[in-house]
Amino acid sequence: MKRVRFSEEQIIGVVKEAEAGAKTADLARRPGVSEGTIYNWKAKYGGLEVSEARRLRELESENAKLKRLLADAMLDNVALKDLLFKKVVTPVAKREAAAHLQAYHGMSERRACRVIDADRKSVRYRSIRDDDGPLREKLRGLANQRRRFGYRRLHILLRREGVMINRKKTQRLYREEGLAVRRRRSRKRAVGTRAPAPVLALPNQRWSLDFVHDQMASGRRFRVLNVVDDVTRECLAAVPDTSISGHRVVRELAQLIAQRGKPGMIVSDNGTELTSNAVLAWCGQIGVEWHYLAPGKPMQNGYVESFNGRMRDELLNETLFMSLAHARIEIAAWVEDYNRERPHSALGYATPAAFAAELNKQWPASLRPSGSATQPIASTAPMRKTTYRL
Protein backbone atom coordinates (compact mmCIF):
# COMPACT_ATOMS: atom_id res chain seq x y z
CA MET A 1 0.00 0.00 0.00
CA LYS A 2 1.30 3.39 -0.96
CA ARG A 3 2.23 5.53 2.00
CA VAL A 4 0.24 8.80 2.22
CA ARG A 5 2.04 11.95 3.40
CA PHE A 6 -0.11 14.43 5.34
CA SER A 7 0.47 18.14 5.41
CA GLU A 8 1.01 20.15 8.59
CA GLU A 9 -2.47 21.66 8.27
CA GLN A 10 -4.12 18.22 8.19
CA ILE A 11 -2.04 16.87 11.09
CA ILE A 12 -2.63 19.92 13.30
CA GLY A 13 -6.38 19.80 12.49
CA VAL A 14 -6.58 16.20 13.68
CA VAL A 15 -4.56 17.06 16.81
CA LYS A 16 -6.84 19.95 17.69
CA GLU A 17 -9.91 17.72 17.35
CA ALA A 18 -8.25 15.22 19.70
CA GLU A 19 -7.54 18.00 22.17
CA ALA A 20 -11.18 19.11 21.91
CA GLY A 21 -12.33 15.67 23.17
CA ALA A 22 -12.91 13.60 20.04
CA LYS A 23 -12.28 9.87 20.31
CA THR A 24 -8.98 8.60 19.02
CA ALA A 25 -10.53 5.65 17.17
CA ASP A 26 -12.86 7.95 15.24
CA LEU A 27 -10.04 10.34 14.39
CA ALA A 28 -7.84 7.49 13.14
CA ARG A 29 -10.57 6.02 10.97
CA ARG A 30 -11.06 9.12 8.79
CA PRO A 31 -7.46 9.60 7.45
CA GLY A 32 -6.90 5.86 7.51
CA VAL A 33 -4.09 5.76 10.10
CA SER A 34 -3.59 3.81 13.27
CA GLU A 35 -4.32 5.08 16.74
CA GLY A 36 -0.57 5.00 17.48
CA THR A 37 -0.01 7.51 14.71
CA ILE A 38 -2.58 9.83 16.30
CA TYR A 39 -0.74 9.61 19.61
CA ASN A 40 2.57 10.37 17.88
CA TRP A 41 1.04 13.41 16.18
CA LYS A 42 -0.26 14.65 19.51
CA ALA A 43 3.20 14.24 21.12
CA LYS A 44 4.95 16.05 18.31
CA TYR A 45 2.47 18.73 17.22
CA GLY A 46 0.45 19.27 20.36
CA GLY A 47 -0.02 22.97 21.04
CA LEU A 48 1.56 24.11 17.77
CA GLU A 49 0.17 26.28 15.04
CA VAL A 50 0.64 25.60 11.34
CA SER A 51 3.50 28.14 10.95
CA GLU A 52 5.27 26.69 13.97
CA ALA A 53 4.94 23.19 12.58
CA ARG A 54 6.47 24.28 9.27
CA ARG A 55 9.38 25.92 11.11
CA LEU A 56 9.89 22.71 13.09
CA ARG A 57 10.05 20.71 9.87
CA GLU A 58 12.62 23.12 8.41
CA LEU A 59 14.74 22.87 11.55
CA GLU A 60 14.66 19.09 11.38
CA SER A 61 15.75 19.21 7.75
CA GLU A 62 18.61 21.60 8.54
CA ASN A 63 19.65 19.45 11.48
CA ALA A 64 19.79 16.38 9.24
CA LYS A 65 21.94 18.25 6.71
CA LEU A 66 24.33 19.43 9.44
CA LYS A 67 24.66 15.87 10.71
CA ARG A 68 25.53 14.65 7.23
CA LEU A 69 28.07 17.46 6.77
CA LEU A 70 29.64 16.70 10.15
CA ALA A 71 29.87 13.01 9.32
CA ASP A 72 31.46 13.81 5.95
CA ALA A 73 33.96 16.19 7.55
CA MET A 74 34.92 13.62 10.18
CA LEU A 75 35.41 11.00 7.50
CA ASP A 76 37.55 13.39 5.45
CA ASN A 77 39.59 14.18 8.56
CA VAL A 78 40.22 10.51 9.27
CA ALA A 79 41.17 9.94 5.64
CA LEU A 80 43.64 12.84 5.67
CA LYS A 81 45.24 11.50 8.84
CA ASP A 82 46.03 8.31 6.95
CA LEU A 83 47.87 10.43 4.38
CA LEU A 84 49.58 12.65 6.94
CA PHE A 85 53.04 11.13 6.50
CA LYS A 86 52.85 10.92 2.69
CA LYS A 87 53.85 13.70 0.33
CA VAL A 88 50.85 13.95 -2.00
CA VAL A 89 52.45 16.26 -4.55
CA THR A 90 53.25 14.39 -7.75
CA PRO A 91 50.55 12.89 -10.00
CA VAL A 92 51.73 9.38 -9.11
CA ALA A 93 51.38 10.10 -5.39
CA LYS A 94 47.91 11.55 -5.92
CA ARG A 95 46.80 8.46 -7.83
CA GLU A 96 48.05 6.23 -5.02
CA ALA A 97 46.34 8.40 -2.40
CA ALA A 98 43.02 8.36 -4.26
CA ALA A 99 43.19 4.57 -4.60
CA HIS A 100 43.91 4.25 -0.88
CA LEU A 101 40.91 6.41 0.08
CA GLN A 102 38.61 4.44 -2.20
CA ALA A 103 39.83 1.07 -0.93
CA TYR A 104 40.05 1.71 2.83
CA HIS A 105 37.42 4.41 3.40
CA GLY A 106 34.82 3.53 0.80
CA MET A 107 34.95 6.91 -0.87
CA SER A 108 33.94 7.57 -4.40
CA GLU A 109 36.48 8.77 -6.92
CA ARG A 110 34.94 12.24 -6.96
CA ARG A 111 35.10 12.59 -3.20
CA ALA A 112 38.63 11.19 -2.92
CA CYS A 113 39.85 13.70 -5.53
CA ARG A 114 38.16 16.52 -3.65
CA VAL A 115 39.80 15.51 -0.37
CA ILE A 116 43.34 15.44 -1.80
CA ASP A 117 42.69 18.35 -4.20
CA ALA A 118 43.45 16.35 -7.33
CA ASP A 119 42.10 16.45 -10.86
CA ARG A 120 40.00 13.40 -11.74
CA LYS A 121 41.58 13.20 -15.20
CA SER A 122 45.07 12.91 -13.73
CA VAL A 123 43.85 10.25 -11.26
CA ARG A 124 42.30 8.20 -14.05
CA TYR A 125 45.42 8.46 -16.22
CA ARG A 126 47.41 5.25 -16.71
CA SER A 127 50.99 5.53 -17.90
CA ILE A 128 51.96 3.86 -21.16
CA ARG A 129 55.72 4.31 -20.67
CA ASP A 130 58.12 1.43 -20.88
CA ASP A 131 59.56 0.03 -17.69
CA ASP A 132 63.11 1.23 -18.52
CA GLY A 133 64.47 -1.49 -16.23
CA PRO A 134 67.81 -2.03 -18.08
CA LEU A 135 68.32 1.73 -18.36
CA ARG A 136 67.68 2.26 -14.66
CA GLU A 137 70.11 -0.55 -13.80
CA LYS A 138 72.78 0.98 -16.03
CA LEU A 139 72.21 4.40 -14.46
CA ARG A 140 72.52 2.96 -10.95
CA GLY A 141 75.73 1.20 -11.92
CA LEU A 142 77.28 4.40 -13.25
CA ALA A 143 76.14 6.32 -10.17
CA ASN A 144 77.78 3.72 -7.91
CA GLN A 145 81.03 4.03 -9.85
CA ARG A 146 80.89 7.86 -9.92
CA ARG A 147 79.35 8.69 -6.58
CA ARG A 148 80.02 12.43 -6.83
CA PHE A 149 78.58 12.77 -10.32
CA GLY A 150 75.23 14.43 -10.88
CA TYR A 151 72.70 13.56 -13.54
CA ARG A 152 74.33 15.83 -16.13
CA ARG A 153 77.65 14.01 -15.99
CA LEU A 154 75.92 10.64 -15.87
CA HIS A 155 73.90 11.64 -18.93
CA ILE A 156 77.14 12.25 -20.82
CA LEU A 157 78.45 8.83 -19.76
CA LEU A 158 75.23 7.17 -20.94
CA ARG A 159 75.50 8.84 -24.33
CA ARG A 160 79.11 7.68 -24.61
CA GLU A 161 77.86 4.12 -24.15
CA GLY A 162 75.34 4.60 -26.94
CA VAL A 163 72.22 5.25 -24.87
CA MET A 164 70.57 8.11 -26.76
CA ILE A 165 67.93 9.54 -24.43
CA ASN A 166 66.81 13.03 -23.52
CA ARG A 167 68.55 14.81 -20.67
CA LYS A 168 65.19 15.36 -18.97
CA LYS A 169 64.54 11.63 -18.95
CA THR A 170 67.94 11.04 -17.39
CA GLN A 171 67.08 13.61 -14.72
CA ARG A 172 63.69 11.98 -14.05
CA LEU A 173 65.15 8.48 -13.70
CA TYR A 174 67.99 9.88 -11.60
CA ARG A 175 65.49 11.47 -9.22
CA GLU A 176 63.16 8.46 -9.09
CA GLU A 177 66.06 6.16 -8.23
CA GLY A 178 67.14 8.41 -5.38
CA LEU A 179 70.65 8.95 -6.68
CA ALA A 180 70.99 12.62 -5.71
CA VAL A 181 74.48 13.56 -4.57
CA ARG A 182 74.65 14.83 -1.01
CA ARG A 183 76.22 18.24 -0.99
CA ARG A 184 79.21 18.85 1.23
CA ARG A 185 78.28 22.05 2.94
CA SER A 186 81.52 23.65 4.04
CA ARG A 187 82.29 27.23 4.76
CA LYS A 188 83.56 29.16 1.78
CA ARG A 189 87.24 29.95 2.15
CA ALA A 190 89.52 31.74 -0.21
CA VAL A 191 92.32 30.02 -2.08
CA GLY A 192 95.79 31.01 -0.95
CA THR A 193 98.43 30.53 1.67
CA ARG A 194 97.25 30.28 5.25
CA ALA A 195 100.19 31.76 7.14
CA PRO A 196 101.62 35.29 6.98
CA ALA A 197 105.01 35.37 5.34
CA PRO A 198 107.96 37.10 7.09
CA VAL A 199 108.45 40.78 6.29
CA LEU A 200 111.22 43.34 6.64
CA ALA A 201 111.33 45.85 9.50
CA LEU A 202 109.90 48.63 7.34
CA PRO A 203 106.61 50.51 7.28
CA ASN A 204 103.98 49.54 4.77
CA GLN A 205 105.22 45.96 4.44
CA ARG A 206 102.19 44.17 5.85
CA TRP A 207 98.70 45.32 6.81
CA SER A 208 96.26 43.41 9.00
CA LEU A 209 92.48 43.73 8.78
CA ASP A 210 89.74 42.74 11.20
CA PHE A 211 86.33 43.86 12.46
CA VAL A 212 85.26 44.85 15.94
CA HIS A 213 81.60 45.23 16.98
CA ASP A 214 79.74 47.52 19.38
CA GLN A 215 76.34 49.17 19.79
CA MET A 216 74.94 52.66 20.27
CA ALA A 217 72.74 53.93 23.09
CA SER A 218 69.64 53.12 21.03
CA GLY A 219 70.69 49.47 20.83
CA ARG A 220 71.55 49.59 17.15
CA ARG A 221 74.74 47.68 16.42
CA PHE A 222 77.64 48.85 14.30
CA ARG A 223 81.04 47.52 13.34
CA VAL A 224 84.47 49.01 12.81
CA LEU A 225 86.90 47.94 10.10
CA ASN A 226 90.42 48.29 11.54
CA VAL A 227 93.54 48.35 9.37
CA VAL A 228 96.86 48.08 11.23
CA ASP A 229 100.47 48.22 10.03
CA ASP A 230 102.07 45.12 11.61
CA VAL A 231 105.55 46.66 11.75
CA THR A 232 104.89 50.14 13.08
CA ARG A 233 101.63 49.21 14.94
CA GLU A 234 99.95 52.27 13.42
CA CYS A 235 96.19 52.25 12.96
CA LEU A 236 95.95 53.17 9.31
CA ALA A 237 92.14 53.26 9.22
CA ALA A 238 89.20 52.68 11.55
CA VAL A 239 85.96 52.77 9.56
CA PRO A 240 82.74 52.57 11.63
CA ASP A 241 79.43 51.83 9.94
CA THR A 242 76.30 49.74 10.42
CA SER A 243 77.17 47.55 7.43
CA ILE A 244 80.49 47.06 5.65
CA SER A 245 80.45 44.89 2.55
CA GLY A 246 83.28 43.55 0.42
CA HIS A 247 82.89 46.46 -2.01
CA ARG A 248 83.19 48.90 0.90
CA VAL A 249 86.37 47.16 2.08
CA VAL A 250 87.86 47.51 -1.41
CA ARG A 251 86.91 51.19 -1.56
CA GLU A 252 88.49 51.98 1.81
CA LEU A 253 91.68 50.10 0.96
CA ALA A 254 91.94 51.88 -2.39
CA GLN A 255 91.73 55.27 -0.64
CA LEU A 256 94.32 54.17 1.89
CA ILE A 257 96.71 53.00 -0.86
CA ALA A 258 96.29 56.33 -2.66
CA GLN A 259 97.50 58.06 0.53
CA ARG A 260 100.26 55.70 1.75
CA GLY A 261 101.17 53.52 -1.22
CA LYS A 262 100.66 49.82 -1.88
CA PRO A 263 101.50 47.39 0.94
CA GLY A 264 103.69 44.34 0.54
CA MET A 265 100.85 42.08 1.68
CA ILE A 266 97.54 42.10 3.52
CA VAL A 267 96.54 39.59 6.21
CA SER A 268 92.99 38.86 7.36
CA ASP A 269 90.72 36.11 8.57
CA ASN A 270 88.18 34.23 6.46
CA GLY A 271 85.21 36.55 6.99
CA THR A 272 82.65 36.67 4.21
CA GLU A 273 83.41 40.32 3.48
CA LEU A 274 87.12 39.62 3.17
CA THR A 275 86.71 36.50 1.00
CA SER A 276 84.18 38.05 -1.36
CA ASN A 277 84.62 38.14 -5.11
CA ALA A 278 85.05 41.91 -4.97
CA VAL A 279 88.12 41.60 -2.71
CA LEU A 280 89.65 38.75 -4.71
CA ALA A 281 89.15 40.58 -8.01
CA TRP A 282 90.63 43.78 -6.58
CA CYS A 283 93.73 41.94 -5.32
CA GLY A 284 94.36 40.47 -8.74
CA GLN A 285 93.80 43.81 -10.41
CA ILE A 286 96.29 45.86 -8.39
CA GLY A 287 98.69 43.00 -7.62
CA VAL A 288 98.45 42.91 -3.81
CA GLU A 289 99.27 39.64 -2.08
CA TRP A 290 96.49 38.70 0.34
CA HIS A 291 97.07 36.05 3.00
CA TYR A 292 94.26 34.32 4.90
CA LEU A 293 94.64 32.79 8.34
CA ALA A 294 94.37 29.10 9.02
CA PRO A 295 90.89 28.26 10.38
CA GLY A 296 90.75 28.55 14.15
CA LYS A 297 94.13 30.35 14.39
CA PRO A 298 93.34 33.99 15.28
CA MET A 299 96.82 34.54 16.73
CA GLN A 300 98.24 34.41 13.22
CA ASN A 301 96.68 37.87 13.03
CA GLY A 302 97.75 38.84 16.53
CA TYR A 303 98.68 42.46 15.78
CA VAL A 304 95.20 43.60 14.80
CA GLU A 305 93.65 41.33 17.46
CA SER A 306 95.75 43.12 20.08
CA PHE A 307 94.71 46.47 18.64
CA ASN A 308 91.04 45.45 18.82
CA GLY A 309 91.50 44.57 22.48
CA ARG A 310 93.05 47.99 23.21
CA MET A 311 90.25 49.75 21.34
CA ARG A 312 87.55 47.87 23.22
CA ASP A 313 89.19 48.35 26.60
CA GLU A 314 90.09 52.00 26.22
CA LEU A 315 87.32 53.35 23.96
CA LEU A 316 84.33 51.11 23.26
CA ASN A 317 83.72 50.00 26.85
CA GLU A 318 84.26 53.53 28.16
CA THR A 319 82.13 55.55 25.73
CA LEU A 320 78.37 55.67 25.23
CA PHE A 321 77.81 56.42 21.57
CA MET A 322 74.64 58.43 20.94
CA SER A 323 74.68 58.07 17.15
CA LEU A 324 76.83 56.81 14.29
CA ALA A 325 78.15 60.34 13.69
CA HIS A 326 79.16 60.54 17.35
CA ALA A 327 80.91 57.18 17.08
CA ARG A 328 82.87 58.33 14.03
CA ILE A 329 84.07 61.46 15.84
CA GLU A 330 85.10 59.59 18.99
CA ILE A 331 86.83 56.76 17.09
CA ALA A 332 88.76 59.17 14.86
CA ALA A 333 89.94 61.13 17.91
CA TRP A 334 91.02 57.95 19.70
CA VAL A 335 92.92 56.68 16.63
CA GLU A 336 94.77 59.99 16.36
CA ASP A 337 95.71 59.77 20.02
CA TYR A 338 96.71 56.11 19.63
CA ASN A 339 99.05 56.85 16.73
CA ARG A 340 100.65 60.07 18.00
CA GLU A 341 100.26 60.26 21.77
CA ARG A 342 99.77 56.87 23.35
CA PRO A 343 103.05 55.06 24.17
CA HIS A 344 103.22 51.51 22.90
CA SER A 345 104.97 48.98 25.12
CA ALA A 346 106.00 46.75 22.19
CA LEU A 347 107.80 49.73 20.61
CA GLY A 348 109.85 50.66 23.67
CA TYR A 349 107.00 52.92 24.77
CA ALA A 350 107.36 55.07 21.69
CA THR A 351 104.30 56.12 19.73
CA PRO A 352 103.57 54.26 16.49
CA ALA A 353 104.02 57.45 14.46
CA ALA A 354 107.40 58.18 16.04
CA PHE A 355 108.51 54.59 15.56
CA ALA A 356 107.54 54.70 11.89
CA ALA A 357 109.47 57.93 11.41
CA GLU A 358 112.56 56.40 13.03
CA LEU A 359 112.37 53.37 10.73
CA ASN A 360 112.15 55.62 7.70
CA LYS A 361 115.29 57.41 8.87
CA GLN A 362 117.16 54.12 9.36
CA TRP A 363 116.17 52.80 5.97
CA PRO A 364 115.87 55.53 3.38
CA ALA A 365 114.08 54.60 0.19
CA SER A 366 117.29 54.41 -1.85
CA LEU A 367 119.04 52.18 0.70
CA ARG A 368 116.28 49.76 1.62
CA PRO A 369 117.43 46.16 1.08
CA SER A 370 115.61 44.01 -1.43
CA GLY A 371 116.65 40.71 0.16
CA SER A 372 115.76 39.18 3.49
CA ALA A 373 118.91 40.14 5.40
CA THR A 374 117.02 41.89 8.17
CA GLN A 375 115.23 39.90 10.85
CA PRO A 376 111.58 39.27 9.92
CA ILE A 377 108.94 40.70 12.19
CA ALA A 378 106.33 37.97 11.88
CA SER A 379 107.12 34.31 12.48
CA THR A 380 105.87 31.77 9.99
CA ALA A 381 103.26 29.11 10.74
CA PRO A 382 103.03 25.59 9.26
CA MET A 383 101.49 25.58 5.83
CA ARG A 384 98.21 23.71 5.38
CA LYS A 385 98.19 21.04 2.71
CA THR A 386 94.42 21.25 2.29
CA THR A 387 93.25 23.82 -0.23
CA TYR A 388 89.75 25.21 -0.47
CA ARG A 389 87.91 26.25 -3.56
CA LEU A 390 85.50 29.11 -3.93
Instruction: Check residue 1 and give its pLDDT.
Output: 39
Instruction: Tell me the domain boundaries of the chain.
Output: 8-124, 132-177, 206-362
User: Is residue 222 over pLDDT 90?
Assistant: yes
User: Is residue 87 over pLDDT 80?
Assistant: no
d(CA 43, CA 204): 108
Residue 102 or 58, more confident = 102
What integer is the mean pLDDT of 265-271?
A: 91
Instruction: Check residue 370 and give its pLDDT.
Output: 44
Sheet-wide strand order for 265-268: 235-241, 221-229, 206-215, 265-268, 289-292
User: Is residue 283 over pLDDT 60?
Assistant: yes
Which helix (H) or strand (E) element contains residue 241? strand 235-241
Asked whether 94 and 124 are in contact (CB, 8 A), the reply is no
CATH homologous superfamily of domain 206-362?
Ribonuclease H-like superfamily/Ribonuclease H (3.30.420.10)
Residue 325 or 183, more confident = 325
Q: Please state the φ and ψ torsions of residue 239, each to the nearest 5 degrees.
A: -105, 105
User: Is residue 66 over pLDDT 60?
Assistant: yes
Asked whether 190 and 390 are in contact (CB, 8 A), the reply is yes
Angle between the 50-82 and 8-20 helix axes, to the nearest 10 degrees?
A: 120
Using one digit for the tens of pLDDT, what is the confidence trace for 165-221? Answer: 999 999 999 998 888 876 656 555 555 544 455 666 778 889 999 999 999 999 999
Instruction: Check residue 385 and give its pLDDT.
Output: 39
Residue among 280, 281, 279, 334 nearest 310 (CA): 334
User: Is residue 280 over pLDDT 50?
Assistant: yes
Q: Please, what is the average pLDDT of the chain? A: 80
Instruction: Check residue 48 and give its pLDDT.
Output: 66
Instruction: Check residue 41 and give its pLDDT.
Output: 74
> What residues pair up with 227 in beta bridges, in sequence order?
209, 237
What integer is the mean pLDDT of 220-229?
A: 95
Instruction: Check residue 282 and give its pLDDT.
Output: 92
User: Is residue 161 over pLDDT 60?
Assistant: yes
Instruction: Check residue 252 and give its pLDDT.
Output: 94
User: Is residue 387 over pLDDT 50?
Assistant: no
What value, to the nearest 5°, has the Cα angle with vertex 333 and ends 331 and 336?
Answer: 110
Per-residue confidence at 246, pLDDT binned at 50, 70, 90? very high
Instruction: Check residue 326 and give its pLDDT.
Output: 95
Per-residue confidence at 62, pLDDT binned at 50, 70, 90? confident
Of the ranges 27-31, 138-142, 311-315, 324-328, the best mean pLDDT one: 324-328
Count Cβ atoms below 10 Å from residue 15 Cβ, excluding itself.
Answer: 21
d(CA 157, CA 176): 19
Instruction: Check residue 187 and give its pLDDT.
Output: 55
Percent of the chain clearing pLDDT 70 (strictly above) = 80
Which helix (H) or strand (E) element contains residue 226? strand 221-229
d(CA 344, CA 248): 30
- What burial class does residue 193 get, using C-beta atoms within 10 Å of its C-beta: 0-12 exposed, 13-18 middle, 19+ buried? middle
Q: Please state the φ and ψ torsions of residue 290, each to the nearest 5 degrees.
A: -115, 125
Asked whether 31 and 5 are in contact (CB, 8 A), the reply is no
